[in-house]
Amino acid sequence: MQTTDRQPDACAECLARNGPAPDTVWLVTDPIRITPIGGLGEVGRNMTVVEHDGFRIVIDCGIGFPHGDDRGLGVDIFLPDVRVMRGKPVDAVLITHAHDDHVAALAHLIRSGTPIGRIISLPFSIGMIEAKLSEHDLPVPPLVTVAPGDLIEIGSITAEFIRVAHSIPDPCAIALTTKIGTIVLTGDYKLDATGQDVRRQVDRKRLTAIGDAGVLAMLGDSTNAQLPGRTPSEATTIEPLNDVIDEVSGRIVLTSFSSQIDRIDHAMRAADRTHRQVMLLGRSMRRNVKIAERLHELEPTHMPGLSRRDIGGVKSLVICTGSQAEEFAVLGRASRGEHPDLHIGNGDTVVYASRPVPGNEGPVEEMQNMLRMRGARVVTHHDAAIHVSGHARSDEIAEMIRMLRPNVVIPMHGEEAMLRAQAELAIENGVHAHNVHVGQNGDVLEVDASGIRLVDQVDSMAIPAGSDGLPLGAGEPG
């Protein structure tokens, strides 16, 4: 297993399981070159560059979020270091899904002057990208909407989007087929096995077929690799959320990620059933729900919407932003008594239909205590099963590896321990230790039928930025 100490030798335990490394003969003059710009050793800031046969593709372009000592120092987000692009043209940017840690740095990439041929993804992701980029005075590259299974030619590379399950509509894995073989980037995923809408299920049949045809490398989501078993389906949150809403007699303020459309939909359906009027608060919440309604990812409530003057009504459900204790989001302002419309007090129940992202537990708990001090009852995932992760646990990751049967595995999307946990799963499921690379941002990797090698390392720092998405340091890129 290759690791971040830059040593290519496998550990003794790995060799015991796999035997000595096969002799490596590098015969291909044009291997696939892979450079992770962000997302390794961290949760967020996902961005990967893939190059082959003179063509360049970027997979995802997201932001990271400050936590710990970084919070409160004027840093609102972290951007990927697009200087590594050196202004060279990008034939296409492919987006696995529309969470901010995968798309919200697109404006930064465009602002850097990097020529972009087109941005390609599934309908909900393109809708979100279009809305986000409209907030910036920038020339927007062509936005191309595709369906799962469509084959997109990018020079000599063929891209295919394969449906997976995650905590947002239209998530996908991406297969890139070249003249020397195929690599698969899983994106964020879980292997949801419920009988709900097919748009929320992973396409096991297609992934298995791609594996049967041969996969050079899998670049896989590592977020929950340390956790045993399988991640529950989103459908398991419906009844607990119904129960919480049913039992509350006063006003309910529910917060979640504004992109968690299914969770929002469950809450709106529960409000309809209990004759509660609904109000959406927060710019991104209203925007995302509007996009979801337009694309039929959720249906409007039957009850009439609340007006701002009725927001204090006892039989109401306010769905708002701020689940991660963002300073200027709706719930953050309300917790400090600073929101002009939402005043939290005795009789209110605040429901967190989410959980803190890794590293953000302290600020979220602090905000929950501020809400309690204002007299609110706070309900979290500790009190009821109202949240499930969108990321695969160890059994699902092992299943993905067995479906794809890759020659090489590059763990992505996670902190160091998460990456290493996926690496171990890959070795346990038949991938040779010398073909598993636990790396870091800026690694320049080459992959072909012979395996994987680290050929270079480029600078790839986290660029601190304000809420406007502009880097804070003078002279920084973008």
Instruction: Concatenate the DSSP letters of all residues of 190-246 into one string.
Output: B---SSS-GGGS--HHHHHHHHHH--SEEEEE-TBTTS-S-PPPGGGGHHHHHHHHH
Q: Which residue has the tokens 């609904």?
A: 278
pLDDT digits (tens, 9 = 90+) for 27-47: 446 899 999 999 999 988 999
Q: Is the per-residue pLDDT at 19 higher than 80?
A: no
Residue 306 confidence (pLDDT): 61
Q: How confident is the model at residue 467 (pLDDT cuts 50, 70, 90)?
A: confident
pLDDT digits (tens, 9 = 90+) for 82-118: 988 887 899 999 999 999 999 999 999 999 999 999 9
Q: How confident is the model at residue 452 (pLDDT cuts 50, 70, 90)?
A: very high
Read off the pTM.
Answer: 0.89
CB atoms inside a 10 Å sphere around CB 299: 12
pLDDT for residue 359: 74
pLDDT of residue 372: 96
Percent of the chain with pLDDT over 90: 72
Cβ-based neighbour number of residue 305 at 10 Å: 11
* Burial of 334 per CB tally in 10 Å (0-12, 13-18, 19+): buried
Q: Check residue 319 and give its pLDDT.
A: 94
Domains of the chain, earliest start first:
12-229+390-465 (3.60.15.10), 234-379 (3.40.50.10710)
Q: Which of 125, 94, 96 is nearest to 291 (CA)?
A: 125
Strand order in the sheet with 151-154: 151-154, 157-163, 172-178, 181-185, 217-221, 408-412
Question: Judging by beta carbons within 10 Å of its beta carbon (0-12, 13-18, 19+), is residue 213 exposed, middle or buried?
Answer: exposed
CA angle 335, 338, 342 (to 5 degrees): 70
Whole-angstrom distance, CA of residue 50 vs CA of residue 210: 19
- In this predicted structure, what is the pLDDT of residue 272? 87
| Mean local confidence (pLDDT), 349-370 | 89
**Contact present, 204 and 164 (Cβ < 8 Å):** no
Q: Is 302 exposed, middle or buried (0-12, 13-18, 19+ CB in 10 A)?
A: exposed
